[in-house]
Amino acid sequence: MTTGPAIHRRLRAFDDVPPTADLVVVGAGIVGCATAFFATAAGLRTVVLDARPRPATLTTPASTGAFRLQFDNAEEIALVREGVELFGAFAERAGLPGYDIGLHRSGYLFCARDEASIGRQHRMAALAREAGIDDVELLDGDEARHRFPYLSPDVLAARFRQGDGFLDPVRLAYGFALAASGGEGVERVPGSATAAFVSGARVTGFRLAGDRLLAVETAHGAVAAPNAVIAAGPFLGRVAGLAGLAVDLRPTRRQKLVLPDVPEVPREAPMTIDEETAAHWRPAYGGAFALMTDPTTPPDEPSWNVPTSADFAFRLLDPASATGLAAVTPFWRDVWDRGTPWFPQAGQYEYTPDRRPFIGATVIRGLHLNGGYSGHGVMGATGGSRLLLDLLTGRRTGPDWAINPGSAKANPFRPDRPLDAREHDIL
Ligand SMILES: Cc1cc2nc3c(=O)[nH]c(=O)nc-3n(C[C@H](O)[C@H](O)[C@H](O)COP(=O)(O)OP(=O)(O)OC[C@H]3O[C@@H](n4cnc5c(N)ncnc54)[C@H](O)[C@@H]3O)c2cc1C
Protein backbone atom coordinates (compact mmCIF):
# COMPACT_ATOMS: atom_id res chain seq x y z
CA MET A 1 0.00 0.00 0.00
CA THR A 2 1.33 3.44 -0.88
CA THR A 3 2.05 5.83 1.96
CA GLY A 4 0.73 9.40 2.32
CA PRO A 5 3.72 11.36 0.98
CA ALA A 6 4.07 8.93 -1.92
CA ILE A 7 0.46 9.55 -2.89
CA HIS A 8 0.99 13.29 -2.65
CA ARG A 9 3.91 13.12 -5.09
CA ARG A 10 1.60 11.49 -7.67
CA LEU A 11 -0.79 14.47 -7.54
CA ARG A 12 -0.42 17.03 -10.33
CA ALA A 13 0.07 19.96 -7.94
CA PHE A 14 0.75 23.52 -9.14
CA ASP A 15 2.79 26.23 -7.40
CA ASP A 16 1.16 29.10 -9.32
CA VAL A 17 -2.49 30.01 -9.55
CA PRO A 18 -3.66 29.36 -13.15
CA PRO A 19 -5.25 32.48 -14.70
CA THR A 20 -8.40 30.80 -16.07
CA ALA A 21 -10.59 27.77 -15.50
CA ASP A 22 -14.05 26.48 -16.35
CA LEU A 23 -14.61 25.84 -12.65
CA VAL A 24 -12.81 26.86 -9.44
CA VAL A 25 -13.24 24.73 -6.32
CA VAL A 26 -12.48 26.47 -3.02
CA GLY A 27 -11.20 23.83 -0.59
CA ALA A 28 -9.42 20.49 -1.06
CA GLY A 29 -10.97 18.40 1.70
CA ILE A 30 -12.98 15.32 0.82
CA VAL A 31 -15.80 17.50 -0.56
CA GLY A 32 -13.59 19.67 -2.77
CA CYS A 33 -11.68 16.62 -4.06
CA ALA A 34 -14.94 14.78 -4.87
CA THR A 35 -16.26 17.93 -6.58
CA ALA A 36 -13.10 18.09 -8.72
CA PHE A 37 -13.52 14.39 -9.61
CA PHE A 38 -17.05 14.86 -10.96
CA ALA A 39 -16.18 18.22 -12.57
CA THR A 40 -13.30 16.79 -14.60
CA ALA A 41 -15.45 13.79 -15.55
CA ALA A 42 -17.94 16.34 -16.93
CA GLY A 43 -15.12 17.82 -19.05
CA LEU A 44 -14.57 20.99 -16.97
CA ARG A 45 -11.04 22.39 -16.68
CA THR A 46 -10.88 22.74 -12.92
CA VAL A 47 -8.66 24.62 -10.48
CA VAL A 48 -8.77 23.59 -6.81
CA LEU A 49 -7.51 26.25 -4.40
CA ASP A 50 -6.69 25.40 -0.80
CA ALA A 51 -5.30 27.60 1.96
CA ARG A 52 -3.30 24.81 3.57
CA PRO A 53 0.01 23.22 2.48
CA ARG A 54 -1.69 19.97 1.41
CA PRO A 55 -5.12 18.62 0.50
CA ALA A 56 -7.20 16.83 3.15
CA THR A 57 -5.48 18.29 6.21
CA LEU A 58 -8.31 20.09 8.04
CA THR A 59 -11.56 18.27 8.99
CA THR A 60 -11.26 15.25 6.70
CA PRO A 61 -8.34 13.58 8.58
CA ALA A 62 -10.12 14.09 11.94
CA SER A 63 -13.03 11.99 10.67
CA THR A 64 -13.77 8.43 11.74
CA GLY A 65 -14.30 7.61 8.06
CA ALA A 66 -17.49 5.72 8.76
CA PHE A 67 -20.51 5.30 6.50
CA ARG A 68 -23.98 3.87 7.01
CA LEU A 69 -27.35 3.56 5.36
CA GLN A 70 -29.09 3.60 8.73
CA PHE A 71 -30.63 7.08 8.53
CA ASP A 72 -34.12 8.28 9.38
CA ASN A 73 -34.94 9.69 5.94
CA ALA A 74 -34.87 8.62 2.30
CA GLU A 75 -32.94 11.66 1.03
CA GLU A 76 -29.84 11.16 3.16
CA ILE A 77 -29.93 7.41 2.55
CA ALA A 78 -29.93 8.07 -1.21
CA LEU A 79 -27.07 10.56 -0.86
CA VAL A 80 -24.88 8.14 1.08
CA ARG A 81 -25.91 5.07 -0.92
CA GLU A 82 -24.38 6.55 -4.06
CA GLY A 83 -21.07 6.93 -2.24
CA VAL A 84 -21.18 3.43 -0.79
CA GLU A 85 -21.69 2.00 -4.27
CA LEU A 86 -18.66 3.88 -5.54
CA PHE A 87 -16.46 2.89 -2.55
CA GLY A 88 -16.88 -0.78 -3.47
CA ALA A 89 -15.47 -0.20 -6.96
CA PHE A 90 -13.31 2.83 -6.25
CA ALA A 91 -10.07 1.79 -7.98
CA GLU A 92 -11.89 0.92 -11.19
CA ARG A 93 -14.26 3.93 -11.20
CA ALA A 94 -11.42 6.35 -10.47
CA GLY A 95 -9.07 4.78 -13.04
CA LEU A 96 -6.51 4.00 -10.32
CA PRO A 97 -5.67 0.28 -10.60
CA GLY A 98 -4.88 -1.25 -7.20
CA TYR A 99 -5.72 1.93 -5.27
CA ASP A 100 -6.79 1.05 -1.73
CA ILE A 101 -9.19 3.29 0.23
CA GLY A 102 -9.00 1.05 3.32
CA LEU A 103 -12.61 -0.11 2.93
CA HIS A 104 -14.07 -2.32 5.69
CA ARG A 105 -17.69 -3.38 5.45
CA SER A 106 -17.71 -4.53 9.05
CA GLY A 107 -21.11 -3.05 9.83
CA TYR A 108 -22.67 -0.60 12.28
CA LEU A 109 -23.93 -2.09 15.54
CA PHE A 110 -26.23 0.08 17.68
CA CYS A 111 -26.63 -1.39 21.18
CA ALA A 112 -29.67 -0.74 23.36
CA ARG A 113 -29.61 -0.98 27.14
CA ASP A 114 -33.09 0.34 27.92
CA GLU A 115 -36.65 0.17 26.58
CA ALA A 116 -36.55 3.67 25.07
CA SER A 117 -33.51 2.75 22.97
CA ILE A 118 -35.14 -0.51 21.87
CA GLY A 119 -38.18 1.49 20.70
CA ARG A 120 -35.88 3.81 18.77
CA GLN A 121 -34.17 0.83 17.13
CA HIS A 122 -37.51 -0.46 15.85
CA ARG A 123 -38.47 3.00 14.54
CA MET A 124 -35.11 3.44 12.78
CA ALA A 125 -35.29 -0.01 11.16
CA ALA A 126 -38.84 0.72 9.96
CA LEU A 127 -37.78 4.08 8.47
CA ALA A 128 -34.84 2.42 6.71
CA ARG A 129 -37.21 -0.26 5.34
CA GLU A 130 -39.54 2.43 4.00
CA ALA A 131 -36.52 3.92 2.21
CA GLY A 132 -35.71 0.54 0.61
CA ILE A 133 -33.03 -0.63 3.08
CA ASP A 134 -34.33 -4.05 4.08
CA ASP A 135 -31.17 -5.59 5.55
CA VAL A 136 -31.12 -3.88 8.96
CA GLU A 137 -31.18 -6.74 11.47
CA LEU A 138 -32.86 -6.39 14.86
CA LEU A 139 -31.20 -8.77 17.34
CA ASP A 140 -32.13 -9.59 20.91
CA GLY A 141 -29.39 -9.39 23.55
CA ASP A 142 -28.41 -13.07 23.37
CA GLU A 143 -28.29 -13.09 19.57
CA ALA A 144 -26.16 -9.95 19.67
CA ARG A 145 -23.71 -11.49 22.20
CA HIS A 146 -23.55 -14.69 20.14
CA ARG A 147 -22.44 -12.68 17.10
CA PHE A 148 -20.35 -10.14 19.06
CA PRO A 149 -19.11 -11.93 22.21
CA TYR A 150 -17.48 -8.81 23.65
CA LEU A 151 -20.87 -7.13 24.33
CA SER A 152 -22.02 -6.57 27.91
CA PRO A 153 -24.84 -8.63 29.49
CA ASP A 154 -26.56 -5.22 29.89
CA VAL A 155 -27.14 -5.03 26.12
CA LEU A 156 -30.84 -5.90 25.68
CA ALA A 157 -31.08 -5.54 21.90
CA ALA A 158 -29.06 -4.45 18.89
CA ARG A 159 -29.61 -3.01 15.43
CA PHE A 160 -27.02 -4.18 12.90
CA ARG A 161 -26.35 -3.67 9.23
CA GLN A 162 -23.41 -5.56 7.77
CA GLY A 163 -23.09 -3.39 4.63
CA ASP A 164 -22.17 -0.30 6.65
CA GLY A 165 -18.56 0.28 7.60
CA PHE A 166 -15.59 2.59 7.41
CA LEU A 167 -12.67 3.60 5.23
CA ASP A 168 -9.63 5.85 5.25
CA PRO A 169 -11.00 9.34 4.49
CA VAL A 170 -7.64 10.83 3.48
CA ARG A 171 -7.00 8.01 1.00
CA LEU A 172 -10.48 8.53 -0.43
CA ALA A 173 -9.91 12.28 -0.78
CA TYR A 174 -6.51 11.72 -2.42
CA GLY A 175 -8.03 9.10 -4.71
CA PHE A 176 -10.57 11.63 -5.98
CA ALA A 177 -7.80 14.24 -6.29
CA LEU A 178 -5.41 11.94 -8.16
CA ALA A 179 -8.12 10.86 -10.59
CA ALA A 180 -9.20 14.48 -11.17
CA SER A 181 -5.66 15.76 -11.63
CA GLY A 182 -4.80 13.01 -14.10
CA GLY A 183 -1.71 12.37 -12.02
CA GLU A 184 0.78 9.54 -12.43
CA GLY A 185 -0.75 6.13 -13.11
CA VAL A 186 -4.29 7.39 -13.74
CA GLU A 187 -6.29 5.71 -16.51
CA ARG A 188 -8.05 8.69 -18.08
CA VAL A 189 -11.57 8.51 -19.42
CA PRO A 190 -11.87 9.98 -22.94
CA GLY A 191 -13.57 13.38 -22.81
CA SER A 192 -12.56 14.13 -19.25
CA ALA A 193 -10.62 17.27 -18.33
CA THR A 194 -8.00 17.71 -15.62
CA ALA A 195 -7.81 19.60 -12.36
CA ALA A 196 -4.88 21.69 -11.11
CA PHE A 197 -4.44 21.56 -7.32
CA VAL A 198 -2.87 24.67 -5.79
CA SER A 199 -1.98 24.52 -2.10
CA GLY A 200 -1.18 27.57 0.05
CA ALA A 201 -3.71 29.58 -1.97
CA ARG A 202 -6.23 31.08 0.42
CA VAL A 203 -9.25 32.57 -1.31
CA THR A 204 -9.64 36.21 -0.28
CA GLY A 205 -12.56 37.37 -2.41
CA PHE A 206 -14.80 36.97 -5.45
CA ARG A 207 -14.87 39.40 -8.35
CA LEU A 208 -18.43 39.98 -9.53
CA ALA A 209 -20.20 41.89 -12.30
CA GLY A 210 -23.60 42.61 -10.79
CA ASP A 211 -24.90 39.22 -9.71
CA ARG A 212 -22.50 37.26 -11.96
CA LEU A 213 -19.22 35.63 -10.90
CA LEU A 214 -16.16 36.76 -12.87
CA ALA A 215 -13.16 35.50 -10.89
CA VAL A 216 -11.94 33.98 -7.65
CA GLU A 217 -9.22 35.97 -5.90
CA THR A 218 -6.23 34.82 -3.83
CA ALA A 219 -3.17 36.66 -2.49
CA HIS A 220 -1.22 35.01 -5.35
CA GLY A 221 -3.50 36.08 -8.16
CA ALA A 222 -7.03 35.55 -9.45
CA VAL A 223 -8.60 32.75 -11.51
CA ALA A 224 -11.13 34.00 -14.04
CA ALA A 225 -13.95 31.46 -14.21
CA PRO A 226 -17.66 31.38 -15.00
CA ASN A 227 -18.31 28.95 -12.15
CA ALA A 228 -16.98 28.30 -8.64
CA VAL A 229 -17.92 25.90 -5.87
CA ILE A 230 -17.31 26.75 -2.22
CA ALA A 231 -16.29 23.51 -0.50
CA ALA A 232 -14.47 25.08 2.44
CA GLY A 233 -15.74 22.77 5.21
CA PRO A 234 -16.22 24.69 8.48
CA PHE A 235 -15.15 27.87 6.65
CA LEU A 236 -17.98 27.63 4.10
CA GLY A 237 -20.00 30.42 5.75
CA ARG A 238 -16.99 32.68 6.03
CA VAL A 239 -15.90 32.14 2.40
CA ALA A 240 -19.47 32.68 1.16
CA GLY A 241 -19.46 35.92 3.19
CA LEU A 242 -16.61 37.16 0.95
CA ALA A 243 -19.20 37.25 -1.85
CA GLY A 244 -21.74 38.99 0.38
CA LEU A 245 -23.77 35.81 0.98
CA ALA A 246 -25.16 34.99 4.44
CA VAL A 247 -24.94 31.22 4.99
CA ASP A 248 -26.06 29.83 8.33
CA LEU A 249 -23.27 27.39 9.15
CA ARG A 250 -22.51 26.46 12.76
CA PRO A 251 -19.06 24.85 13.15
CA THR A 252 -19.05 22.78 16.32
CA ARG A 253 -16.08 21.05 17.90
CA ARG A 254 -16.00 17.25 17.69
CA GLN A 255 -13.23 15.19 19.25
CA LYS A 256 -11.89 11.74 18.53
CA LEU A 257 -9.63 9.55 20.62
CA VAL A 258 -6.95 7.57 18.82
CA LEU A 259 -5.83 4.43 20.72
CA PRO A 260 -3.18 2.81 18.52
CA ASP A 261 -2.69 -0.32 20.60
CA VAL A 262 -5.70 -2.13 22.08
CA PRO A 263 -5.33 -5.89 21.48
CA GLU A 264 -8.87 -6.56 22.77
CA VAL A 265 -10.40 -4.82 19.73
CA PRO A 266 -11.27 -7.47 17.10
CA ARG A 267 -9.97 -6.33 13.71
CA GLU A 268 -13.28 -7.02 11.97
CA ALA A 269 -15.50 -5.59 14.73
CA PRO A 270 -18.23 -3.25 13.52
CA MET A 271 -18.60 0.38 14.52
CA THR A 272 -20.08 -0.32 17.96
CA ILE A 273 -22.39 2.33 19.39
CA ASP A 274 -24.15 2.79 22.71
CA GLU A 275 -27.61 3.85 21.46
CA GLU A 276 -28.26 5.61 24.80
CA THR A 277 -25.13 7.80 25.12
CA ALA A 278 -23.86 7.77 21.50
CA ALA A 279 -20.39 6.73 22.79
CA HIS A 280 -18.84 4.58 20.05
CA TRP A 281 -15.66 2.94 18.80
CA ARG A 282 -14.35 1.18 15.74
CA PRO A 283 -11.13 -0.72 14.96
CA ALA A 284 -8.20 1.43 13.75
CA TYR A 285 -4.46 0.69 13.49
CA GLY A 286 -3.74 -1.93 16.21
CA GLY A 287 -6.47 -0.46 18.39
CA ALA A 288 -9.43 1.83 17.91
CA PHE A 289 -10.92 5.25 17.35
CA ALA A 290 -13.33 6.19 20.13
CA LEU A 291 -15.84 9.03 20.09
CA MET A 292 -19.04 10.38 21.50
CA THR A 293 -21.51 13.05 20.56
CA ASP A 294 -21.81 15.76 23.19
CA PRO A 295 -25.04 17.65 22.37
CA THR A 296 -24.10 20.44 24.79
CA THR A 297 -21.07 21.60 22.76
CA PRO A 298 -21.93 25.10 21.48
CA PRO A 299 -21.25 26.25 17.91
CA ASP A 300 -18.12 28.34 17.43
CA GLU A 301 -16.16 30.31 14.85
CA PRO A 302 -14.46 28.19 12.17
CA SER A 303 -10.96 27.23 13.28
CA TRP A 304 -7.68 26.13 11.69
CA ASN A 305 -6.57 24.56 14.99
CA VAL A 306 -9.35 22.94 16.95
CA PRO A 307 -8.32 22.41 20.60
CA THR A 308 -8.56 19.02 22.30
CA SER A 309 -9.31 18.31 25.95
CA ALA A 310 -8.21 15.47 28.21
CA ASP A 311 -11.63 15.61 29.85
CA PHE A 312 -13.11 14.16 26.67
CA ALA A 313 -10.87 11.09 26.97
CA PHE A 314 -11.83 10.52 30.59
CA ARG A 315 -15.54 10.75 29.76
CA LEU A 316 -15.10 7.87 27.30
CA LEU A 317 -12.50 5.72 29.04
CA ASP A 318 -13.29 6.01 32.75
CA PRO A 319 -15.72 3.16 33.47
CA ALA A 320 -17.30 5.34 36.19
CA SER A 321 -18.29 7.95 33.60
CA ALA A 322 -21.95 8.10 32.49
CA THR A 323 -20.72 8.01 28.87
CA GLY A 324 -18.01 5.37 29.33
CA LEU A 325 -17.42 2.84 26.54
CA ALA A 326 -17.33 0.00 29.10
CA ALA A 327 -21.13 0.16 29.53
CA VAL A 328 -21.62 -1.66 26.22
CA THR A 329 -18.19 -3.26 25.81
CA PRO A 330 -16.67 -4.28 29.17
CA PHE A 331 -13.12 -4.79 27.82
CA TRP A 332 -12.70 -1.00 27.90
CA ARG A 333 -12.48 -1.37 31.70
CA ASP A 334 -9.20 -3.31 31.24
CA VAL A 335 -7.95 -0.70 28.78
CA TRP A 336 -8.56 1.98 31.44
CA ASP A 337 -6.93 -0.12 34.19
CA ARG A 338 -3.82 -0.68 32.05
CA GLY A 339 -3.44 3.02 31.25
CA THR A 340 -3.23 2.32 27.51
CA PRO A 341 -1.82 5.31 25.53
CA TRP A 342 -4.38 7.54 23.80
CA PHE A 343 -4.14 10.69 21.71
CA PRO A 344 -6.96 13.19 21.20
CA GLN A 345 -7.73 14.71 17.80
CA ALA A 346 -10.34 17.34 17.01
CA GLY A 347 -12.17 18.90 14.10
CA GLN A 348 -15.43 20.73 13.56
CA TYR A 349 -18.78 19.36 12.45
CA GLU A 350 -20.19 21.79 9.88
CA TYR A 351 -23.78 21.87 11.11
CA THR A 352 -26.56 23.57 9.17
CA PRO A 353 -29.80 24.45 10.99
CA ASP A 354 -31.58 21.33 9.66
CA ARG A 355 -28.39 19.22 9.64
CA ARG A 356 -28.53 18.59 5.91
CA PRO A 357 -25.90 19.79 3.46
CA PHE A 358 -26.08 22.88 1.23
CA ILE A 359 -25.68 21.60 -2.34
CA GLY A 360 -26.47 23.86 -5.27
CA ALA A 361 -26.60 27.36 -6.70
CA THR A 362 -26.64 30.66 -4.80
CA VAL A 363 -28.17 34.00 -5.82
CA ILE A 364 -24.82 34.88 -7.43
CA ARG A 365 -24.86 33.34 -10.87
CA GLY A 366 -21.99 30.90 -11.22
CA LEU A 367 -21.34 30.59 -7.45
CA HIS A 368 -22.33 27.29 -5.84
CA LEU A 369 -22.13 25.70 -2.40
CA ASN A 370 -21.11 22.16 -1.52
CA GLY A 371 -20.80 21.77 2.24
CA GLY A 372 -22.53 21.78 5.59
CA TYR A 373 -22.62 17.98 5.65
CA SER A 374 -23.17 18.22 9.42
CA GLY A 375 -20.71 15.49 10.32
CA HIS A 376 -21.48 13.19 7.38
CA GLY A 377 -19.18 14.63 4.73
CA VAL A 378 -17.05 11.55 4.14
CA MET A 379 -20.05 9.37 3.45
CA GLY A 380 -22.04 12.13 1.71
CA ALA A 381 -19.43 13.85 -0.47
CA THR A 382 -19.70 11.42 -3.40
CA GLY A 383 -23.46 11.63 -3.89
CA GLY A 384 -23.49 15.34 -3.04
CA SER A 385 -20.72 16.27 -5.46
CA ARG A 386 -22.21 14.22 -8.28
CA LEU A 387 -25.55 15.96 -7.64
CA LEU A 388 -23.90 19.39 -7.62
CA LEU A 389 -22.18 18.79 -10.96
CA ASP A 390 -25.42 17.53 -12.50
CA LEU A 391 -27.20 20.68 -11.30
CA LEU A 392 -24.33 22.84 -12.60
CA THR A 393 -24.07 21.26 -16.04
CA GLY A 394 -27.74 20.37 -16.46
CA ARG A 395 -26.75 16.79 -17.37
CA ARG A 396 -27.89 13.72 -15.47
CA THR A 397 -24.99 11.33 -14.82
CA GLY A 398 -26.01 9.64 -11.58
CA PRO A 399 -28.61 7.14 -10.56
CA ASP A 400 -32.25 8.03 -10.93
CA TRP A 401 -32.84 9.24 -7.40
CA ALA A 402 -36.31 10.18 -6.38
CA ILE A 403 -34.67 13.30 -4.99
CA ASN A 404 -33.14 14.43 -8.24
CA PRO A 405 -35.50 13.91 -11.12
CA GLY A 406 -33.57 16.36 -13.23
CA SER A 407 -34.81 19.63 -11.83
CA ALA A 408 -33.08 21.94 -9.37
CA LYS A 409 -36.43 22.45 -7.65
CA ALA A 410 -36.53 18.82 -6.56
CA ASN A 411 -33.14 19.01 -4.86
CA PRO A 412 -33.87 18.71 -1.10
CA PHE A 413 -30.38 20.05 -0.31
CA ARG A 414 -30.73 23.32 -2.25
CA PRO A 415 -29.22 26.14 -0.20
CA ASP A 416 -32.37 28.31 -0.38
CA ARG A 417 -34.71 25.71 1.15
CA PRO A 418 -36.69 26.60 4.29
CA LEU A 419 -34.34 25.75 7.17
CA ASP A 420 -36.61 24.20 9.76
CA ALA A 421 -34.86 22.64 12.71
CA ARG A 422 -35.42 18.90 12.59
CA GLU A 423 -35.06 16.16 15.15
CA HIS A 424 -31.66 14.70 14.43
CA ASP A 425 -29.84 11.44 14.66
CA ILE A 426 -27.65 10.51 17.65
CA LEU A 427 -24.41 10.49 15.58
C1 LIG B 1 -14.26 13.96 14.98
C2 LIG B 1 -14.99 13.86 13.66
C3 LIG B 1 -15.47 12.61 13.23
C4 LIG B 1 -16.16 12.51 12.01
N5 LIG B 1 -16.56 11.28 11.58
C6 LIG B 1 -17.19 11.17 10.39
C7 LIG B 1 -17.58 9.89 9.91
O8 LIG B 1 -17.37 8.86 10.55
N9 LIG B 1 -18.18 9.83 8.68
C10 LIG B 1 -18.43 10.96 7.94
O11 LIG B 1 -19.01 10.85 6.85
N12 LIG B 1 -18.06 12.17 8.37
C13 LIG B 1 -17.45 12.31 9.57
N14 LIG B 1 -17.06 13.53 10.02
C15 LIG B 1 -17.39 14.70 9.21
C16 LIG B 1 -16.43 14.85 8.05
O17 LIG B 1 -15.11 14.76 8.53
C18 LIG B 1 -16.68 16.19 7.38
O19 LIG B 1 -18.06 16.30 7.04
C20 LIG B 1 -15.83 16.32 6.11
O21 LIG B 1 -14.49 16.01 6.36
C22 LIG B 1 -15.96 17.73 5.56
O23 LIG B 1 -15.13 17.78 4.43
P24 LIG B 1 -14.86 19.16 3.72
O25 LIG B 1 -14.07 18.88 2.52
O26 LIG B 1 -16.16 19.89 3.57
O27 LIG B 1 -14.05 20.00 4.82
P28 LIG B 1 -12.49 20.03 5.18
O29 LIG B 1 -11.90 18.68 5.21
O30 LIG B 1 -12.40 20.87 6.40
O31 LIG B 1 -11.84 20.80 3.97
C32 LIG B 1 -12.11 22.17 3.76
C33 LIG B 1 -10.92 22.78 3.07
O34 LIG B 1 -11.24 24.14 2.76
C35 LIG B 1 -10.04 24.90 2.88
N36 LIG B 1 -10.37 26.31 3.04
C37 LIG B 1 -11.08 26.92 4.01
N38 LIG B 1 -11.13 28.24 3.78
C39 LIG B 1 -10.44 28.48 2.64
C40 LIG B 1 -10.12 29.64 1.89
N41 LIG B 1 -10.51 30.87 2.25
N42 LIG B 1 -9.39 29.50 0.76
C43 LIG B 1 -8.95 28.27 0.37
N44 LIG B 1 -9.21 27.14 1.05
C45 LIG B 1 -9.95 27.25 2.16
C46 LIG B 1 -9.37 24.30 4.11
O47 LIG B 1 -8.00 24.57 4.11
C48 LIG B 1 -9.68 22.82 3.96
O49 LIG B 1 -8.64 22.12 3.35
C50 LIG B 1 -16.37 13.66 11.22
C51 LIG B 1 -15.89 14.91 11.64
C52 LIG B 1 -15.20 15.01 12.85
C53 LIG B 1 -14.68 16.34 13.28
What are the pLDDT tens digits along the chain (427 aa)?
A: 344 667 778 887 888 999 999 999 999 999 999 999 999 999 999 999 999 999 999 999 999 999 999 988 888 998 999 999 999 999 999 999 999 999 999 999 999 999 999 999 999 999 889 888 999 999 999 999 999 999 999 999 999 999 999 999 999 999 999 999 997 789 988 899 999 999 999 999 999 999 999 999 999 999 999 999 999 999 999 999 999 999 999 999 999 999 999 999 999 999 999 999 999 999 999 999 999 988 889 999 999 999 999 999 999 999 999 999 999 999 999 999 999 999 999 999 999 999 999 999 999 999 999 999 999 999 999 999 999 999 999 988 877 665 655 555 578 999 999 988 776 677 7
Dist. CA 317 → ligand 1 center (Å): 26
Per-residue model confidence as pLDDT tens digits over 127-146: 889 888 999 999 999 999 99
Look at residue 103 and tell me if it is in a domain.
Answer: no
List the CATH number of the domain containing 180: 3.50.50.60
Pseudo-torsion of CA 104, 107, 108, 113, nearest 10°?
-130
Say yes or no: CB of residue 306 within 6 Å of ligand 1: no
Domain stop point among 330, 347, 364: 347
Domain stop point among 328, 347, 366: 347
Look at residue 339 and tell me if it is in a domain.
Answer: yes
Distance CA(411)–CA(388), nearest Å, equals 10
Tell whether 323 and 290 lie within a shared domain: yes
Residue 3 confidence (pLDDT) = 44
Dist. CA 416 → ligand 1 center (Å): 22
Of ligand 1's atoms, which has the minimum distance to the CA of residue 291? 1
Pseudo-torsion of CA 141, 146, 149, 152, nearest 10°?
10
Tell whether 272 and 372 lie within a shared domain: no
Dist. CA 264 → ligand 1 center (Å): 31
Decide if 294 contacts 269 (C-beta within 8 A): no
Domain stop point among 321, 347, 373: 347
Say yes or no: CB of residue 60 within 6 Å of ligand 1: yes
Distance CA(36)–CA(385), nearest Å, equals 8
Write the burial class of residue 91 (CB in 10 Å: 0-12 exposed, 13-18 middle, 19+ buried). Answer: middle
Tell whether 224 and 203 lie within a shared domain: yes
Look at residue 147 and tell me if it is in a domain.
Answer: yes
Decide if 308 contacts 346 (C-beta within 8 A): yes
Tell whether 178 and 82 lie within a shared domain: yes
Among protein residues, the one with the nearest Cα to ligand 1's atom 51 is 63
pTM score = 0.96
Say yes or no: CB of residue 59 within 6 Å of ligand 1: yes
Look at residue 204 and tell me if it is in a domain.
Answer: yes
Could you tell me which of 28, 62, 57 has the C-alpha nearest to residue 284? 62
Residue of 250, 378, 388 with the most ligand 1 atoms within 8 Å of its CB, for mutation: 378
Tell whether 281 and 179 lie within a shared domain: no
Q: Which residues pair with 223 in a beta bridge?
A: 216
Say yes or no: CB of residue 372 within 6 Å of ligand 1: no
Dist. CA 61 → ligand 1 center (Å): 8
Tell whether 222 and 77 lie within a shared domain: yes
Tell whether 404 and 257 lie within a shared domain: no
Among protein residues, the one with the nearest Cα to ligand 1's atom 26 is 233
Look at residue 172 and tell me if it is in a domain.
Answer: yes
SS3 333: helix
Say yes or no: CB of residue 251 within 6 Å of ligand 1: no
Dist. CA 155 → ligand 1 center (Å): 34
Say yes or no: CB of residue 168 within 6 Å of ligand 1: no
Tell whether 175 and 318 lie within a shared domain: no
Of ligand 1's atoms, which has the minimum distance to the CA of residue 379? 11
Tell whether 341 and 364 lie within a shared domain: no
Say yes or no: CB of residue 231 within 6 Å of ligand 1: yes
Look at residue 35 and tell me if it is in a domain.
Answer: yes
List the CATH number of the domain containing 146: 3.30.9.10
Tell whether 87 and 183 lie within a shared domain: yes
Say yes or no: CB of residue 333 within 6 Å of ligand 1: no
Tell whether 335 and 372 lie within a shared domain: no
Look at residue 233 and tell me if it is in a domain.
Answer: yes
To the nearest 10 degrees (0 to 180), the angle between helices 74-87 and 377-393 is: 100
Dist. CA 396 → ligand 1 center (Å): 27
Dist. CA 336 → ligand 1 center (Å): 31
Tell whether 233 and 333 lie within a shared domain: no
- Is the dihedral angle over the CA atoms 322, 323, 328, 329 positive or is it negative? negative
Look at residue 229 and tell me if it is in a domain.
Answer: yes
State which residues form the domain around 178: 4-97+168-249+354-410
Domain count, the chain: 2
Residue of 8, 30, 59, 171 with the most ligand 1 atoms within 8 Å of its CB, for mutation: 59
